[in-house]
Amino acid sequence: MLGCHSADSPVMLPCIKSFPEMKLFPVLVMLTACAARPQDLSGKMFTFPLESNTAHVRLNASRLDFSSLTLCHRSFTDLKRDHVLFSLATPVHSNDFLIFWDYTNKEIEPHIKNRKAEFGGRDYKPNMWHSICTTWDSESGLVQIWFNGLPSIRKFVSTGTNIVGPVIIILGQEQDSHGGGFDLKQSFVGMMSDVHLWDHILSSCEIQNYVDELNFTPGNVLNWSALEFEIIDRVLIENKLMTCH
């Protein structure tokens, strides 16, 4: 049985698949309870409490065509293995826009249209919040990351064509197929918050404002303060973990 989050309640609700022998009316009721609605998650975080090849959050975006992107998010984990940070797939490319931590080589690896860039030298310490922003432009083919406010060099990945949907965006699992193909040993365990996605390249000042949690224009594709999502299996919504001084 899968669990979905309802906008009317913080509790996990069961999702039931439809089978021929089941009566139609109860099934329709359950599907309605699992429908995603925009929610303000300001001050909240998704908690992924265990290693799993099922638990994830699916983020709903209506935009289907991207010539450039900026993604920002914050994550907190103690994993000592490879793990996914963000996965956007289309029917053509399972890694159309993927952010991945390579534990062996100690690299953050953005994948664009199944091609990757490798960024090493990042102090990705366990048990603390990290802010990571990634930009990509199809015209130049350049990708860049900003790790806790510090920019990387720009690297060439893929140029000439847009990312074209339908897109499936998932937190907590890495898609090896469109909406599936999850691998237990690539799953994310920890906390994630403040996920924003824009259909353009943010300026360095806008990225710094995000990192410093100052006023910034929220994502126009994914907006943490008006997020449409569905929770599948064991993922919790909690108040964001803050460090007290």
Hey, where are the domains in the chain?
54-239
Residue 164: count other Cβ atoms within 10 Å of its Cβ.
15
pLDDT at 21: 34
pLDDT at 63: 86
Note every long-range contact of 126-130, with CB atoms under 8 Å and residues 24 or more positions apart, other chains counting: 126/77, 126/78, 126/79, 126/80, 127/76, 127/77, 127/78, 128/76, 129/74, 129/75, 129/76, 129/241, 130/74, 130/75, 130/76
pTM: 0.85
Instruction: Determine the topology of domain 54-239 in CATH.
Output: Jelly Rolls (2.60.120)
pLDDT along the chain (245 residues), means of 10: 45 38 32 59 98 97 93 98 98 96 97 96 96 97 97 92 94 97 98 98 97 95 97 97 68
In sequence order, the 6+-apart residues with CB closer than 8 A to the CB of 93 are 113, 114, 163
pLDDT at 27: 32
* Bridge partners (DSSP) listed for residue 157: none
Q: Compute the distance between CA of residue 239 and CA of residue 214 in angstroms, rounded to an integer.
A: 19
pLDDT at 19: 31
pLDDT at 29: 29
Q: Compute the distance between CA of residue 194 and CA of residue 229 in angstroms, rounded to an integer.
A: 14
Q: Compute the distance between CA of residue 93 and CA of residue 116 in angstroms, rounded to an integer.
A: 13
pLDDT at 159: 80
Residue 172: count other Cβ atoms within 10 Å of its Cβ.
28
Q: Compute the distance between CA of residue 221 and CA of residue 177 in angstroms, rounded to an integer.
A: 22
Task: Write the CA distances from 124 to 65, 188, 203, 215, integer angstroms.
Answer: 32, 15, 24, 25
pLDDT at 244: 67
Contact by Cβ (8 Å): 184, 173: no
Q: Compute the distance between CA of residue 192 and CA of residue 74 in angstroms, rounded to an integer.
A: 6
Backbone angles phi, psi at 163, to 5 degrees: -85, 120
